Amino acid sequence: AQSVTQPDIHITVSEGASLELRCNYSYGATPYLFWYVQSPGQGLQLLLKYFSGDTLVQGIKGFEAEFKRSQSSFNLRKPSVHWSDAAEYFCAVGPYNTDKLIFGTGTRLQVFP
Amino acid sequence: NAGVTQTPKFRVLKTGQSMTLLCAQDMNHEYMYWYRQDPGMGLRLIHYSVGEGTTAKGEVPDGYNVSRLKKQNFLLGLESAAPSQTSVYFCASRTPGSPLHFGNGTRLTVT
């Protein structure tokens, strides 16, 4: 079955610390992978996407993610977290035609000063 | 540049009442979607449309209907609201091959 797993429901980090949010997927075909961020009361905003090519992709707000086919993972990273990064983060996977986009259940990030 | 606009932002309904949520996009996108977001469940696709006059069922379509009479608008209707439909509803749109653009959501409570 096709699925996306975000194992961490809630993560707390100190401002300035590094961050890694985990995403594992199960998908039968070539996956197209996305990370979205949702601030309170807002819709989802695309952070970055992976379709093909370089497995390390850069996104907005200083985020990056690495596609590892052998591990079926697409983890999101940031070297130094800012208080404004506190939000909920969603990983998603789908075909090129994203009508069948599958979302993970999200990871809520809390940042302490 | 408004992007994707959802109205209303909040709504409270009593069980059995009906309502329509409106989604409007000004980006000339072909595809439009309605999702619901529930705690611990991520986003689930309700219905979607790949063009004016067309609609299709998503993962959780029961209890909802949709219409796409104009390219820029996508309506989500609840004919007889149930408490299980208490959720946050998101509209999204895109062009073929591009990622989704989301609205800011509608919080619906059914009592």
**pLDDT per residue over B19-63, tens digit each?**
999 999 999 999 999 999 998 888 999 999 999 999 999 999 999
What Å distances lie between residue B23 and A19, A96, B34, B71, B83, CA to CA? 35, 24, 9, 11, 22
Count CB pairs under 8 A between chains A and B.
48
SS3 A17: coil
Question: Which token pair is A47?
Answer: 């952070």
Please tell me which residue of chain A has the smallest CA distance to B33.
A99
Question: Which token pair is A14?
Answer: 């100190």
> A53: which strand partners?
none
Give the position of tokens 């949010």.
A21
Per DSSP, A99 falls in state G
A21-70 tens-digit pLDDT: 999 999 877 788 999 999 988 889 999 999 888 899 999 999 999 999 99
CA distance A15 to chain B (A): 26
Instruction: Considering only the beta carbons, identify the residue of A41, A96, A98 that sits closest to B100.
Output: A98
Contact B69, B53 (CB under 8 A): yes
Residues of chain A with a CB closer than 8 angstroms to some CB in chain B: 4, 9, 34, 36, 41-46, 49, 90, 96-99, 101, 103-106
> B75: which strand partners?
B22, B67
Higher pLDDT, B1 or B48: B48
Please give the Cα distance from B108 to A97 (Å, whole number).
Answer: 29
Per DSSP, A97 falls in state S
> A4: which strand partners?
A25
